[in-house]
Amino acid sequence: MQITKGRVFAQRFYDIADEVDLPLAEKLLKEQQRQPPEVRKARHLRIPHPPLDVVLQRRAPGIPDVPAAEVRLRVYDVGVLAITFEIALPSPLDADGLVRFAARVLESEGAITDAGRAIAREVAAAVVPASKDPKLSELAEDYTIFAIETTEPTVDAERFRQYLDLGRVLLGEVGALSAQERGEVTERWFSYDPNQLVVITWNSALVFGKDGLGDLLDLLEVTGMQLLELRHYDEEVRQSLDGLYDELERREVTLLSATRYRRLSRTILRLFVDVTEVTERVENSLQWLGDTWYARVHRAAVKAFDIPRWQQQLEHKLDLLQEINELIVDQITTRQNLRLEGAIVLLIVFEIVMAFFKVM
């Protein structure tokens, strides 16, 4: 059996701002792009604020001996930029050839991320007027999808699974894999009909069949975007915690530092609001139209990306930050109350003394 048509979708995610005004960003990008941005709505996904969808001129994806690839970018209103390099598979390609090509792609992850960052830098600069707190973060997420569309002879999903060593493809492993490792890598697989197969891991996925490919790409892209958002706020909360620890080590909490800690309280309150919003987006941004198969695939992607652990870790750090801040505020409030009580006592003593001298 030979693979006669297939593509690799190398997805990269970058945080470019806290928020992006999409209508204004669309206007700004139209001024720079020959092809106006268009929003492509997925059939099974309803996103409250659909992203801007832009196709760029072909760019080198950073993989040795791989020609320039089509590049699609999407700007999300939450300040995330998703960039996808669409790389055509050489054809015809046998099973070992696919494993070797997958290894080349996965070994070049860093180079692909750098190529995407160069594009992200251009886009971020173009949409600065539409961005709130614009800044291209060092954080980035990556995900790779191997899409096999046609084979010769034509086979169904079960025959395809038997023909291809899925674990080696998804890991880019040119050597042999143990049965245990292969089972771990391929445990999350789904098949809606006999001619369709989806296998999801933490770093890559494989899709067999043409039906629903666009929707699956959208699904995995939105899940990757959500993961980047959680990582971004996790890093922001961590920096706030580190800053608070450093502040406590440098100086004692005094009444003179009350203003500084009140500012910190406002920062923590903002973080709480932002984190609440992002966790709600994680839970609500994908709404399923009664399609249980896509719902199962989404749940598997969320688990594979370890999103629940990131949510718990973020909530724990935020709770810790709030507890420390409350202790500091309580300490300052207690000292202020003691000083006020002392002043009241002094005034009472002063009044008594003055009354005594008047009597005399």
Dump pLDDT digits (tens) for 134-179. 989 888 999 999 999 988 888 888 888 888 889 999 999 888 888 8
Residue 181, CA atoms < 13 Å, CB-side half-sphere: 11
Please compute the mean of the pLDDT values over residues 271-281 and round it to a whole number.
70
How, if at all, do strands 69-75 and 80-88 pair?
antiparallel
Tens digits of residue pLDDT in 87-118: 999 888 898 999 999 999 999 999 999 999 99
Q: Give the separation between CA 3 and CA 183, rounded to whole angstroms.
A: 24
Candidates 114, 85, 66; CA nearest to 8 is: 85
Nearest to 254 by CA among 177, 199, 331: 331
Q: CA-to-CA distance for 360 and 270, rounded, in angstroms? A: 60
Tokens 């692909």 appear where?
112
User: Ranked by mean pLDDT, which of 30-44, 134-148, 300-314 comes out on top?
Assistant: 134-148
In sequence order, what are the beta bridge partners of 282?
Answer: none
SS3 for 331? Answer: helix
The CA distances from residue 93 to 145, 150, 156, 316, in Å, are 17, 11, 17, 48
Q: Which residue has the tokens 């989404």?
A: 298
Helix then strand then coil, in percent of the chain rounded to 5, is 55, 20, 25
Q: How far apart are CA 347 and CA 360, in angstroms?
A: 20
Better-scored residue on pLDDT, 360 or 295 = 295
C-alpha to C-alpha distance for 149 and 8, rounded to whole angstroms: 11
Please state the pTM of the whole predicted model: 0.84
**pLDDT of 127:** 92
Query: Which of the pair, 291 or 154, is modelled with greater confidence?
Result: 154
Tell me: cis bond preceding 194? Omega within 30 of 0 counts: no
Say if strands 140-152 and 2-15 run parallel, antiparallel, or are unpaired: antiparallel
Q: How many Å apart are CA 243 and CA 233, to the nearest integer?
A: 15
pLDDT over threshold 70, residue 39: no
Task: Give the max Cα distance, the chain.
Answer: 118
For the chain, what is the mean pLDDT? 82
What is the mean predicted confidence (pLDDT) over 264-284?
Answer: 68
Categorize the per-residue pLDDT at 208 as very low, low, confident or very high, splitting at 50, 70 and 90.
very high
Higher pLDDT, 289 or 132: 132
In the chain, domain spans? 2-212, 221-350
Percent of the chain with pLDDT over 70: 78
With a cut of 70, say whether residue 306 has pLDDT above it.
yes
Average pLDDT over residues 122-127: 92
pLDDT band at 286 (very low <50, low <70, confident <90, very high): low
Q: Residue 162 corresponds to which tokens in the numbers above?
A: 């038997």
